[in-house]
Amino acid sequence: MSDSVIFDTHRFVKHMTEAGMASPVAEALAEEQVQLLEHKLATKTDLALIQAKIEELHAATKMDIELSRAATATDIANIQREIERSKNDLTWRLLGILIAIAGLIIAAIKLL
Domain boundaries, the chain: 1-41
Say what the pTM is: 0.50
Q: What percent of the chain has pLDDT over 70?
A: 96
Q: Provide the pLDDT for residue 2.
A: 52
Q: Are 27 and 13 in contact (CB under 8 A)?
A: yes
Split at pLDDT 50, 70, 90, the class of 37 is confident
Split at pLDDT 50, 70, 90, the class of 112 is confident
Determine the angle formed by the axes of helices 23-40 and 9-18, rounding to 10 degrees: 140
Specify the higher pLDDT residue, 57 or 39: 57
Q: Are 7 and 33 in contact (CB under 8 A)?
A: yes
Q: What is the mean pLDDT of the chain?
A: 91
pLDDT one-digit tens code per residue, 89-109: 999 999 999 999 999 999 999
Q: Provide the pLDDT for residue 1.
A: 43
Split at pLDDT 50, 70, 90, the class of 43 is confident
